[in-house]
Amino acid sequence: MGPRFGDPEANTAASLDAVATADLDMLGAVTAGDPTGFFASIAHDADKRRICGLSPIYTFLRALPGVEGRLLRYRQWPDPQGAVSFCAAAFP
C-alpha cells in the first residue's frame, strides 16, 4: 500500500490499521479453509491491497477441502511511501 505501489495517499497509522483489519479478516478465511470467504474478502475491496499469492492460496484451499490452519504471525513493514504486510500460517 502507498504511493510506491500507485496509491494516491501516503500510509498513516490509521490506514495501516485498516489494512491490518482487512488482512486479518482475509487470513481468518484462509485458516478456516474457506476459499469462497478468502476470495470474497479480496473482491470486497477489488484487491486494493494487491494480495500476492491470491491464485496459489485459493488453489491450495480448493485442493484441500476442509483444511484448517492457524495463523502463526502477522506483521507489516510500515513505510509512508510503500508498506507491505506478511504472515506465516501452519496447516497440519
Determine the pLDDT at residue 92. Answer: 86
Determine the pLDDT at residue 30. Answer: 98
Please return the burial class of 80, using the count of CB atoms within 10 Å of its CB with bins 0-12, 13-18 and 19+.
Answer: middle
Number of domains in the chain: 1
Rg over CA atoms, the chain: 14
Determine the pLDDT at residue 59. Answer: 98
Determine the pLDDT at residue 46. Answer: 96
Q: Does an H or E element contain 88, and which? A: strand 84-90
Q: Does an H or E element contain 77, and which? A: strand 70-77
The pLDDT tens digits along the chain (92 residues) read: 999 999 999 999 999 999 999 999 999 999 999 999 999 999 999 999 999 999 999 999 999 999 999 999 999 999 999 999 999 999 98
Domain that holds residue 73: 3-90
